[in-house]
Amino acid sequence: MKSAEAQLFEISRQLSPSQRRQWLNYGVRLRTRKVRKPATPKENGDDAWERIIADPRPRPRLAAVVGKIRADLKAGKHFPALRVEDL
């Protein structure tokens, strides 16, 4: 079975120079076109966080950070108080 690239070259050899240019321009347009994403309605910030929190997918990196913090707290390590500038 021929590769798609080989098939395309074979087809292009059968075209006139003018048709080849049109075909090439069409390929360039296909490759460079921008796909429009559908507009999403603005979501309430609280609703967005609730959706994220309720997402059941595992998050191993986050779980590792939480586990380390819990272990540090259990070992008696205290963390400095958060300031507004830290957020």
pLDDT single digits (tens) 42-72: 777 788 888 888 999 999 999 999 999 899 8
The pLDDT of residue 41: 73
DSSP structure class, residue 34: P
Please check the confidence at residue 1 and state whether its pLDDT lies above 60: no
Per-residue pLDDT band for 36 (boundaries 50, 70, 90) equals confident
Q: Cβ(68)–Cβ(77) under 8 Å? A: no
DSSP structure class, residue 86: G
Please check the confidence at residue 40 and state whether its pLDDT lies above 90: no
Per-residue pLDDT band for 85 (boundaries 50, 70, 90) equals confident
